[in-house]
């Protein structure tokens, strides 16, 4: 037995109390006034957005205003104003970031405080997460500052095979980091509260051990410089409760992820800088790649259950926004660092995974309608909630705008106009549509829409380092045009997908908690056809209707209609690594991480491959055949809750019965279902019975004891 196996899987308990917060009662908190620069940015954005939206809406009213404006036209103008205000806000925030961007701060190396690197996982790849953590630990060790950090794996995994791989990876990770950084592992038997509950349970058991916690996601990677900079930033102000980095997308090979990576590189900094300008220390939290003051989090962020059933009520899904708001309500600052480099994550590998992620996010953001009115929240946090809600309501609003436009076209072409509408008219009232003004408004709207892109392109062109990292000026321009074209084509499909998701949520359909697919290949033609033929059909029908009634309208709707008609091939190509890698070879859609001599996470990838080989073919049968591997697993297993008289552990009882009736462990393994395998992996006695198929003893020993425990 080696030293790693004998060492405890978790450190000694040092609990922090985490009381549930009352949204109807504001706590007494010290005032934290915003900086003058932040207030100026907010006023600028408000006036700029209001001015642009008022002007555009008035121009649209003039476009529509003949002698009589129909109800449909008035409603269309109202929807136009809402959707235009949404894009105007983004453009004005980008400009505010240029004018009021907070200065870049430099800090001395951070003092040595114990910081937990938290990796919450739910049926994730144990190899890739262990590889990333190992690489981060080694890089911190090379800087001589690893002593201030500890790794803590927080598992909510429900897949028995992945759980076995997690415990084996935990053992390997401890071996590799012996003398470098402590590594701990805990798997919950009850997934109450999902990720937020996972972290809350960690705080309740070991929060007192750590001054800070850096929350990671399963696809996160952060360089030593970024980790140390975040620690130094939060140490610079005793009232800072959370510091959020801006993760860059890396590791995508398909067409859609490479497009998103390039977009994030090109104008992501513009958007982040603008967001930081108006947020100040009243910022937001995105759930990962952020550092949190543990005591502040414990005192302020105990999440309540919302009234009513899911999907709008129940457990708070998008917990990060709410936790940021509760921290700020309690007087703690929440700050974003848009200038911080070295923080990374991966995007969805294809359109299907992007849609699945958006489904969860849509439910979580719409759920914030039950939080936005909580007592004591800062106006900036209410704005965060409103932006999150609008980010998903914008799609049905856009869809409604298009539908109303088609109805107005039908009305104009199929319904006879009433030329003499008054009691006495000498001259008729002719229908009038100001096409020239409409054309000017169209180009004005495009200018506002693409302003952040254009600003990001200009800044990249004048920055020699960034321009070269994107392949040079010509390739940068070509990549920008390609990304804009692809975004335009994918946008109508995403509009319909999100509109359907919002409708499902309003009808009461819960998203559940599904495992994210972070790696994957191209969507097959069959899956693309069955998944997206409806969008193509709608596009063809709408195109036929427009061409039959008003061909000129087809010119303005061409991008939307083309995207819908091409929905099936676009879905198929979204995950195509052949297309993505082909564009990379010709130097299009490049990012600095791809053109660097060595990718920032290259060591993490190599270590992930090593872990993948070490964990290959591990399953319950392997543990049955190998006592050493079985001991490694059970050493990492924490005691589960004792069954109650009214709630016996049915999976344990059924597993015991199947093992009793089996003639061999192989036959028992064939009979055991997922929950029963989890029960066996949680209980040494059940596992021992499986190894020996000791049926009679199991009946005498395991089942009565289970009843006694009940």
**For residues 586 and 423, what is the distance between their CA atoms, to the nearest angstrom?**
70
97-122: burial string, b at 16+ Cβ within 10 Å, e else = beebbbeeeeeeebeeeebbbbbbbb
Place 66 in a pLDDT band, splitting at 50, 70 and 90.
low
- Share of residues in the chain with pLDDT > 70 (%): 90
More confident residue, 416 or 102: 102
pLDDT in tens, 1-41: 444 446 899 999 999 999 999 999 988 877 778 889 999 99
pLDDT for res 387: 94
**For residues 434 and 296, what is the distance between their CA atoms, to the nearest angstrom?**
58
pLDDT for res 709: 35
Give the contacts of 458 (CB within 8 A, at least 6 positions apart): none
pLDDT for res 104: 74
Place 437 in a pLDDT band, splitting at 50, 70 and 90.
confident
Per-residue pLDDT at 389 exceeds 90: yes
**For residues 325 and 301, what is the distance between their CA atoms, to the nearest angstrom?**
9
**For residues 226 and 344, what is the distance between their CA atoms, to the nearest angstrom?**
10
Strand partners, 183: 151
SS3 481: helix
Q: Work out the burial of residue 269: count CB atoms within 10 Å of its CB; fewer than 13 is exposed, 13-18 middle, 19 or more buried.
A: buried
pLDDT for res 433: 58
Assigned token pair, 396: 């049905």
* Domain residue spans of the chain: 639-709
Name the pairing type of β-strands 240-245 and 290-293: antiparallel
Q: Are 539 and 564 in contact (CB under 8 A)?
A: yes
pLDDT for res 694: 45
Q: What does the pLDDT average to over 562-581? A: 93
Assigned token pair, 244: 């959020």
**For residues 164 and 624, what is the distance between their CA atoms, to the nearest angstrom?**
12
pLDDT for res 165: 97
Contacts of 546-550 with C-beta under 8 Å, sequence gap 24+, read 546/406, 546/409, 549/409, 549/410, 549/413, 549/414, 550/409, 550/412, 550/413
On the CB side of 624, how many CA atoms lie within 13 Å of its CA? Answer: 18
pLDDT in tens, 456-514: 999 999 999 999 999 999 999 999 999 999 999 999 999 999 999 999 998 888 776 66
Q: What is the pTM of this model?
A: 0.90
What are the E-state strand segments in 508-647? none
Q: What does the pLDDT average to over 114-120? A: 96
What are the helix (H) ranges across 566-626?
Answer: 567-574, 577-585, 592-595, 602-614, 620-625
């Amino acid at each position: 037995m080696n030293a790693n196996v004998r060492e405890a899987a978790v450190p000694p308990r040092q609990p922090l109390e985490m009381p549930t917060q009352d949204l109807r009662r504001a706590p007494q908190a010290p005032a934290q006034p915003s900086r003058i620069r932040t207030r100026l940015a907010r006023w600028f954005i408000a006036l700029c957005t209001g001015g642009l939206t008022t002007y555009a809406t008035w121009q649209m009213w003039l476009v529509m205003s003949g002698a009589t404006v129909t109800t449909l036209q008035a409603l269309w103008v109202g929807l136009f104003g809402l959707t235009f205000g949404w894009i105007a806000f983004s453009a004005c925030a980008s400009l505010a970031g240029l004018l009021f961007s907070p200065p870049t701060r430099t800090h001395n190396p951070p003092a040595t405080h114990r910081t937990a690197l938290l990796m919450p996982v739910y049926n994730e790849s144990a190899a890739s997460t262990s590889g990333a953590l190992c690489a981060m630990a080694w890089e911190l060790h090379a800087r001589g500052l690893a002593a201030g950090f500890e790794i803590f794996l927080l598992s909510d995994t429900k897949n028995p095979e992945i759980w076995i791989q997690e415990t084996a990876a935990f053992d390997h990770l401890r071996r590799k980091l012996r003398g470098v950084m402590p590594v701990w592992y805990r798997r919950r038997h009850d997934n109450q509260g999902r990720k937020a509950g996972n972290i809350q349970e960690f705080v309740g058991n070991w929060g007192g051990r750590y001054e800070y916690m850096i929350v990671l996601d399963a696809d996160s990677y952060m360089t030593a410089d970024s980790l140390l900079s975040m620690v130094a930033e939060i140490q610079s102000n005793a009232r800072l409760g959370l510091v959020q980095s801006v993760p860059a997308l890396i590791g995508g090979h398909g067409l859609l992820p490479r497009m998103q990576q390039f977009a994030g590189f090109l104008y992501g900094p513009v958007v982040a800088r603008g967001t930081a300008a108006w947020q100040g220390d009243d910022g937001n939290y995105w759930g990962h790649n952020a550092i949190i003051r543990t005591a502040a989090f414990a005192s302020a962020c105990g999440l309540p259950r919302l009234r009513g059933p899911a999907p709008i009520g129940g457990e708070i899904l998008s917990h990060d926004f709410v936790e940021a708001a509760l921290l700020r309500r309690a007087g703690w600052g929440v700050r974003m660092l848009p200038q911080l480099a070295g923080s990374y994550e991966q995007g969805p590998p294809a359109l299907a995974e992007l849609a699945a992620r958006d489904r969860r996010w849509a439910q979580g953001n719409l759920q914030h309608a039950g939080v936005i009115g909580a007592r004591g929240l800062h106006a900036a946090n209410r704005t965060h909630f409103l932006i999150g809600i609008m980010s998903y309501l914008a799609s049905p609003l856009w869809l409604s705008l298009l539908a109303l436009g088609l109805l107005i076209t039908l009305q104009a072409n199929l319904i006879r106009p009433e030329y003499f509408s008054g009691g006495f008219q000498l001259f008729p009232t002719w229908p009038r549509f100001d096409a020239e003004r409409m054309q000017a408004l169209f180009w004005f709207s495009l200018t506002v829409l693409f302003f952040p892109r254009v600003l990001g392109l200009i800044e990249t062109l004048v920055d020699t380092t960034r321009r070269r990292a994107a392949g040079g000026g010509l390739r940068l321009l070509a990549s920008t045009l390609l990304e804009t074209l692809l975004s335009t084509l994918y946008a109508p499909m995403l509009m319909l997908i999100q509109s359907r998701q919002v409708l499902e949520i309003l009808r009461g359909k819960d998203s559940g908690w599904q495992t994210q697919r972070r790696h994957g290949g191209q969507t097959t033609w069959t899956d693309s056809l069955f998944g997206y033929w409806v969008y193509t059909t709608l596009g063809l029908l709408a195109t036929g209707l427009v061409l039959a009634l008003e061909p000129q309208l087809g010119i303005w709707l061409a991008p939307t209609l083309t995207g819908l008609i091409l929905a099936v091939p676009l879905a198929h190509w979204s995950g195509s690594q052949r297309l993505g890698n082909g564009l990379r070879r010709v130097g299009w859609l490049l990012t600095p991480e791809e053109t660097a001599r060595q990718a920032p996470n290259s060591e993490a990838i190599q270590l992930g491959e090593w872990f993948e080989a070490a964990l290959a073919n591990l399953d319950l049968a392997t543990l049955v055949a190998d006592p050493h591997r079985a001991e490694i697993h059970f050493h990492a297993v924490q005691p589960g809750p004792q069954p109650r008289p009214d709630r016996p552990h049915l999976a344990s009882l059924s597993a015991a019965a199947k093992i009793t009736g089996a003639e061999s462990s192989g036959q028992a393994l064939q009979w055991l279902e997922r929950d029963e395998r989890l029960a066996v992996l949680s209980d040494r006695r059940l596992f021992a019975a499986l190894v020996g198929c000791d049926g009679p003893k199991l009946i005498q020993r395991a089942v009565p004891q289970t009843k006694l425990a009940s």
